[in-house]
């Protein structure tokens, strides 16, 4: 035990990394032992991402451009050649998918976000002067906040919150020593945010502005007045932005490739509609209760509290609104404000909370006879592609966790001078309580991709041909998820599908006209398009369309019904 304690003390960063890996395995269990067949979360954006990784490798192996896709939207075209790609995701997962396959590649992206966020935030805490345990608490708390776990169920690139901590880590080092190299590393972090995800870049930009404001208010050198300090900060910010600018050409090229239309069209194909309405921004904003009410997915939360949260969801979803800070974090954060004696951690924590909270609010805030406008009200016209301002809550959570780490440090420093037998074991209590507040298991939240459903196993043994699956038109959330699954299993049965095309393309526009598979006109059009197989998922088709699902349809040759799916061949079509 003594040797183990000495090892942890000598390598605290690795200890935090290992603990985060183990807890991440518990949160996502049993994904770590089914890396090639199962993912964390339910079908949707996650399965769409897995298919995307497979399609890149499939395109290269087929001698096609990775920026196009002939597996979906066939034969009208997928419309995916104009979709924006993101450099970090593309490079990392293209290589990973070649080596381990798309499912494991996706899982590695999700699982790695937990230890990376924990250990980078730990080093940020150490740079701010926290004790090892204080920094470890800040790192582990930030790594396992509910919004991170929710994001791990579908939004892979937004799980890598270590980018925020990394940028601040080098910012704090510059604050302390004034080294230019730290500004370079800070700029590299900002550039990687641009390469990783538009929202992460957007939030990082305002976080950097908040850091420099905090630094200007707190960083003083002997004989340096405000004017001199302002000049130093202006030069530092420009130098850092110069490094960030180096990342822009590749980011723009990946989002707007020659011959694929305008940049706006590329972004639009990914997010459906470039100009977000004020109503959407209102829905996907944060409210005070989102931060203080316990996580709805925690099985220990009383049913009455869960009902209250569901009633006050303001049209959003828990993937975007699970911003619970944690009562342990809030308590230790208050301790940090009262007992902490370090001005930078306090100023930085409060600055992040203030900016994150203010930017996450709804665009209009009624205050009696007055109406206030939050930043989202004005930014919606400047950057209309962004609608989910609740994601600025990441900064609130980071600021709160840093203050909690400071509070932990303050308590630990005061207890160090008190003779309490084995008081060190008391330090475990905050780790235990935060784990209890931030857990959502059981049940497990996983989706088994393989073995593939029986209808696709049947399709695997059939001669090559284009497939149309029903219900077809992905006009709503459920229909969109179904279409993601249609695309997903192309990597198993290797038949091109009519479904799954990007928004706005020829195939997408055709879907509403093809929804009734038993309509003679639809059957005739399917034949003209060269569709060879028709699969009707009976339960979903009836639930969504309220139409009958006959097995006898003129022009369609009924083959079988497998696990509730009608299987047809289109008469007169014999090839792909």
566: enclosing H helix or E strand: strand 565-570
Q: What is the pLDDT of residues 434-489, one digit of tens each?
A: 999 999 988 889 999 999 999 999 999 999 999 999 999 888 888 889 999 999 99
394 close to 161: Cβ distance less than 8 angstroms? yes
pLDDT for the residue 419: 52
Q: What are phi and psi of 384, to 5 degrees?
A: -70, -10
CB atoms inside a 10 Å sphere around CB 319 = 18
d(CA 306, CA 42): 21
452 close to 492: Cβ distance less than 8 angstroms? yes
Maximal CA-CA distance, the chain: 90
Confidence of residue 266 (pLDDT cuts 50, 70, 90): very low
Q: What is the pLDDT of residues 202-216, one digit of tens each?
A: 999 999 999 999 999
498 close to 468: Cβ distance less than 8 angstroms? yes
Residues facing 446 on adjacent strands: 40
pLDDT for the residue 273: 42
Mean pLDDT in residue range 148-170? 96
What is the end-to-end Cα distance of the chain in Å, rounded? 66
d(CA 78, CA 103): 22
**Structure-model confidence comparison of residues 258 and 524, the more confident one:** 524
Residue with tokens 């997903």: 488
CB atoms inside a 10 Å sphere around CB 574 = 10
**Total residues belonging to the chain:** 576
Where are any strands of DSSP class E within 326-386? 364-367, 370-373
Where are any strands of DSSP class E within 270-406? 364-367, 370-373
d(CA 132, CA 354): 27
Residue with tokens 């009262």: 338
Query: Mean pLDDT across the chain, nearest whole number?
Result: 90
Q: What is the pLDDT of residues 418-448, one digit of tens each?
A: 555 555 677 899 999 999 999 998 888 999 9
Dig out the tokens for 83 from the structure: 């979709």
d(CA 301, CA 1): 36
pTM given for the model = 0.92
67: enclosing H helix or E strand: none
Q: What is the pLDDT of residues 208-256, one digit of tens each?
A: 999 999 999 998 777 778 888 999 999 999 999 999 999 999 998 887 6
144 close to 440: Cβ distance less than 8 angstroms? no
491 close to 63: Cβ distance less than 8 angstroms? no
d(CA 324, CA 288): 10
Q: What is the CA radius of gyration of the chain?
A: 26
Q: Give yes or no for residue 70 having a pLDDT over 50.
A: yes
Q: What are phi and psi of 40, to 5 degrees?
A: -85, 135
d(CA 24, CA 143): 9
Dig out the tokens for 106 from the structure: 């996706």
d(CA 285, CA 374): 10
Q: Are strands 446-448 and 466-470 parallel, antiparallel or unpaired?
A: unpaired
Mean pLDDT in residue range 510-533? 95
pLDDT for the residue 307: 93
pLDDT for the residue 256: 67
Cα–chain center distance at 552? 44
307 HSE (CA, 13 A, CB side): 3
Q: Are strands 364-367 and 370-373 parallel, antiparallel or unpaired?
A: antiparallel
- The CA-atom distances, in angstroms, between 51 and each of 44, 127, 410, 449, 471 are 11, 40, 48, 11, 19
pLDDT for the residue 166: 98
């Amino acid at each position: 035990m003594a040797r183990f304690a000495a090892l942890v003390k000598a390598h605290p960063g690795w200890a935090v990394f290992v603990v985060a890996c183990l807890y991440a395995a518990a949160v996502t269990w049993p994904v770590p032992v089914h890396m090639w067949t199962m993912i964390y979360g339910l079908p949707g954006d996650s399965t769409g991402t897995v298919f995307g990784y497979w399609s890149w490798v499939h395109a290269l192996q087929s001698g096609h451009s990775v920026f196009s896709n002939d597996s979906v939207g066939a034969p009208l075209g997928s419309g995916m050649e104009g979709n924006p790609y993101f450099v970090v995701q593309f490079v990392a997962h293209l290589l990973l998918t070649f080596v381990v396959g798309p499912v494991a590649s996706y899982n590695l992206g999700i699982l790695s976000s937990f230890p990376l966020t924990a250990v980078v935030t730990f080093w940020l805490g150490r740079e701010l002067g926290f004790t090892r345990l204080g920094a470890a608490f800040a790192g582990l708390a930030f790594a396992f906040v509910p919004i991170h776990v929710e994001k791990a169920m579908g939004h892979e690139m937004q799980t890598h919150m270590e980018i925020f901590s990394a940028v601040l880590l080098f910012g704090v080092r510059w604050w302390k020593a004034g080294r230019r190299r730290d500004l370079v590393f800070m700029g590299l972090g900002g550039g990687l945010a641009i390469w990783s995800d538009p929202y992460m870049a957007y939030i990082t930009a305002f976080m950097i502005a908040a850091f420099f404001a905090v630094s200007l208010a707190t960083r003083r050198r002997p004989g340096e007045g405000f004017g001199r300090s302002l000049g130093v900060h202006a030069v530092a910010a420009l130098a850092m932005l110069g490094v960030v600018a180096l990342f822009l050409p590749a980011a723009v090229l990946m989002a707007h490739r020659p011959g694929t239309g305008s940049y706006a069209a590329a972004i639009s194909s990914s997010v459906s509609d470039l100009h977000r309405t004020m109503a959407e921004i209102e829905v996907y904003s944060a409210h005070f209760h989102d931060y203080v009410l316990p996580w709805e997915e925690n099985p220990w939360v009383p049913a009455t509290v869960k009902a209250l949260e569901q009633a006050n969801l303001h049209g959003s979803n828990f993937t975007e609104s699970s911003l619970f800070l944690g009562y342990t974090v809030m308590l230790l954060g208050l301790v940090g404000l009262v007992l902490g004696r370090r001005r930078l951690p306090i100023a930085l924590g409060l600055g992040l909370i203030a900016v994150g909270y203010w930017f996450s609010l709804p665009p209009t805030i009624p205050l009696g006879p007055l109406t206030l406008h939050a930043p989202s009200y004005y930014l919606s016209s400047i950057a209309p592609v962004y609608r989910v301002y609740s994601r600025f809550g990441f900064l609130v959570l980071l600021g709160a966790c840093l203050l909690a780490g400071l509070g932990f440090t303050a308590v630990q420093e005061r207890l160090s001078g008190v003779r309490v037998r084995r008081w060190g074991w008391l330090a475990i209590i905050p780790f235990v309580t935060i784990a209890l507040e931030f857990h959502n298991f059981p049940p497990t939240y996983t989706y088994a991709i393989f073995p593939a459903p029986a209808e696709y196993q049947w399709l695997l043994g059939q001669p090559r041909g284009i497939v149309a699956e029903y219900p077809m038109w992905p006009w709503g959330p459920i229909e969109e998820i179904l279409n993601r699954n249609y695309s997903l299993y192309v990597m198993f049965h290797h038949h091109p599908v009519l479904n799954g095309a990007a928004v706005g393309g020829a195939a997408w526009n055709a879907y509403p006209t093809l929804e009734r598979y038993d309509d003679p006109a639809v059957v005739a059009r399917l034949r003209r398009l060269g569709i060879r197989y028709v699969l009707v998922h009976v339960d979903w088709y009836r639930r969504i369309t309220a139409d009958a699902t006959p097995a006898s349809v003129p022009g369609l040759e009924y083959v079988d019904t497998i696990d509730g799916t009608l299987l047809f061949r289109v008469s007169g079509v014999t090839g792909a």
